[in-house]
Amino acid sequence: MNTVVPTGTIRTLLDHRAKHDGGRVSHVFPDAPSLTWAELRDGAAEIAGRISGMGVGKGESVAVMLPNSRQAILCLFGLFYGGFRAAVINLAAGPEAMGYALSHSEASVLLLGAEQRDLFADAAAAHDVTAQPITVDETVAWPEGSTTAPLADLDPRDHALLMYTSGTTGRPKGVLHSHASLLAGGWTVTLAHGLTPDDRGLCVLPIYHINGMCVSIIGALVSGGTIVVCDRFSASRFWQTCSTHAITWFSVVPTIISHLLHGQADPDDQTKARIRFGRSASSALAVETQTAFETRFGIPIVETMGLTETAAQILSNPLPPGLRKIGSPGLPYGNEVTILSPTLVPVARGLEGEIAVRGPNVMLGYFRNPDATAATMTEDGWLRTGDLGRMDDDGYVFVSGRLKELIIKGGENIAPREVDEALYAHPEVVEAAAFARPCATYGERVEAAVKLSDGATVSGEDLILLCQSKLGKFKSPEVIHILDDLPKGPSGKIQRLKLNQLIG
């Protein structure tokens, strides 16, 4: 296990893996040939040389529109290896947001999946996109007559990744990471979870999201372990994939944990014994869901917390037999975390405020947006997360909710998470999200949306009564909307702020 943050660049670490672990398998794909570290380095170097030969310089943006696949891994590492700024486009963001990101990133070249051509056409129609598309299918369709060119030297502070936030409250912001901060992101995961070269992780989250990117892909590079990359999450295939590929850990989001819990499939005894832990991130995991999952499957879930701006993880619970505090995303690993007052001063343990983080995994800033960078970073280097929480005497953080998502009813703050957890206590609730609605009497009132399991018989009125029994009438939803699906981002995180638009 790496106990010291790695130095150098992604190129130097990939060269190290190719030299010392070249024959070891780095990436497994259920429907394509595996890659070894040597094959990955050689393929990345070829792609890097080709892009350099097209006249793209170090630190310039090259956009990527590729789903999880063997070619996506090769192309991604090709951009990192060449010293280009990989502008990874969220394929679930919609034409407007994709077009904005392509335009704002200033990418001159786009590595475009063959099946994403229509997405690109719609995105280009929404914005002025000048990137030259290069089709990536079983091979890369390089322009006729193109050649390779030498690569520039790299520094750890050079630009490596440009990833756009979901933009639920405005234009997406381009989060800019260096080689150093990406490697630090992979290191915090390795450190917290004790990852080793013998581990085999399962990646079912999209690599155009920071969790899939840094936890699974960069985490494996830092730890030297193997990662199994699936094109998407499938509840019906999940446990069989874990068995077939000898998975020892996986990283998912709470909605996936809930779907597995409500599914019919179970892992076999050998698989349950081999999986050291499952990792939950991207949003709060309901206590009832975590407890029910562990009771049924016998696999410990480690709740964590991370941001795009911090190359994923900032907090994690310890692995068993360490103390996991259910309902908390845990302790800092590899960075500092504090709770800030409204005047941006750290507060005492137990008091609520804004969660802030400082460390080597923090972004360089927001690309072409100095005002947003200044508003997010304090003068003494703390990155404001926008999350409310408190820290207990043991240093564990407990999250109340997002500042922008707080429901303010009659002047009283109501954290949507409280309502979510009350709803998840019902065994037929698969997904739940409380949100604010305008109200003439109180300014805002509480409503909620849920997705129920197949064959469920519970009604909205039943769920309101459940909430009232747990929270009292004031904090409970006045209306519960039963939906086929709740809106989600690329990682599967429920997008609470979109519910008002969806319900109308």
Q: How far apart are CA 81 and CA 77, in angstroms?
A: 6
Q: How far apart are CA 236 and CA 248, in angstroms?
A: 19
pLDDT of residue 491: 74
Amino acid at 266: D
Q: Would you state the torsion angle of the CA atoms of residues 239, 245, 251, 256, taken in this order, to the nearest 10 degrees?
A: -20
Backbone angles phi, psi at 397, to 5 degrees: -100, 140
pLDDT of residue 17: 98
Report helix angle 254-261 to 287-297, nearest 10.
50
Please compute the mean of the pLDDT values over residues 273-294 and round it to a whole number: 93
Please compute the mean of the pLDDT values over residues 499-504 and round it to a whole number: 82
Query: Which tokens hold the place of 199?
Result: 């581990």
Q: How far apart are CA 272 and CA 260, in angstroms?
A: 14
CA distances from 385 to 9, 108, 240, 444 (A): 26, 32, 37, 24
pLDDT of residue 60: 98
Q: DSSP state, 212?
A: I
Average pLDDT, the chain: 94
How much of the chain, in percent, has pLDDT values that exceed 90? 84
pLDDT of residue 167: 54
pLDDT of residue 247: 98
Q: What domains does the chain contain, in order, with CATH numbers?
A: 10-20+33-178 (3.40.50.980), 181-395 (3.40.50.12780), 404-503 (3.30.300.30)
Of 83, 351, 309, the residue nearest 210 (C-alpha): 309
Please compute the mean of the pLDDT values over residues 343-361 and round it to a whole number: 97
Phi-psi region of 43 (alpha: psi -120 to 50; beta: other; left: phi over 0): alpha
Residues 6 or more apart whose Cβ sits within 8 Å of residue 170:
none
Three-class SS state of 26: strand
Please compute the mean of the pLDDT values over residues 71-97 and round it to a whole number: 95
pLDDT of residue 459: 97
Of 178, 180, 183, 193, the residue nearest 217 (C-alpha): 183
pLDDT of residue 2: 63
Q: How far apart are CA 487 and CA 483, in angstroms?
A: 10
pLDDT of residue 171: 81
pLDDT of residue 376: 96
User: Which has the minimum average pLDDT: 7-16, 305-314, 414-423?
Assistant: 414-423
301-307 and 85-88: which strand pairing?
unpaired
Q: Is 142 exposed, middle or buried (0-12, 13-18, 19+ CB in 10 A)?
A: middle
Of 394, 395, 404, 416, the residue nearest 354 (C-alpha): 404
User: Which has the minimum average pLDDT: 265-274, 308-317, 365-374, 488-497?
Assistant: 488-497
pLDDT of residue 490: 76
Express each pLDDT in 26-44 by its tens digit. 999 999 999 999 999 999 9
Element (H, E) at 37: helix 37-53
pLDDT of residue 139: 95
Express each pLDDT in 157-196 by its tens digit. 999 999 998 754 468 899 999 999 999 999 999 999 999 9
pTM above 0.85, yes or no: yes
CA angle, residues 81, 86, 87, in degrees to nearest 5: 175
pLDDT band at 1 (very low <50, low <70, confident <90, very high): low
